[in-house]
Chains A and B, each alone.
Chain A
């Protein structure tokens, strides 16, 4: 069975601070994909990143960066210089059903950026 744990239910930081959202996963498969999605207050789910298990390189996209560590089964997400628009619920997800990507989601982390 697969499992994704986002232990941080809610986080609040002051604008311009850096913040890291944790994601720990469990799977018996050696090949898998990890994802992050953002759900702003408007409610839609926005895809942020996909990482496959063969690629442990960290990724940076503007103020966003992702740290993938197979040794600790973690795929953490850092926002640098946070902004109010970053306020959202963030979901980490996992799949190893290639061709049919049935996703297992974490319970989400609600991030509030205080102006």
Chain B
């Protein structure tokens, strides 16, 4: 157990509304990641963080922003949600039992109507 929680676990929202997903870790890991999982695509990296206030884009970053003001929290924001952002979102940390391995949170299922 890498001590990762995600909130909310499920959310339904409407197109055009802002949405923020939270990832919280309890073990002070430096690297944190946001992925989205879609059928036929596996998991794709949205953004990642390598420290407080240090973030960078991943493969599918358009329409998303992130913030990390504390080591333990990594926030993913959809400024204006679109139906194409309906997905399952996973947060991950690097570290734990195996330092070069990513461990994932339980996921957030987001539906944009």
Contact = CB atoms under 8 A, between A and B. Distances in A.
Interface of A: 4, 33, 35, 37, 43-45, 47, 50, 91, 93, 98, 100-103, 105-108
Contact of A47 (B33, B48, B90, B103): B103
A interface: dominant SS: loop
Contact of B100 (A91, A98, A106, A108): A98
A105 B104 CA distance: 14
Nearest to B56: A100
Contacts, number: 52
Interface stretch (B12-20, B38-46, B65-73, B74-82): B38-46
12 contacts: A37-B104, A43-B88, A45-B90, A45-B107, A47-B104, A50-B101, A98-B100, A101-B31, A103-B43, A105-B42, A107-B40, A107-B41
A101 B102 contact: yes
B interface: dominant SS: strand
Given A43-B88, A50-B98, A100-B48, A91 B43 contact: yes
A99 B33 CA distance: 13
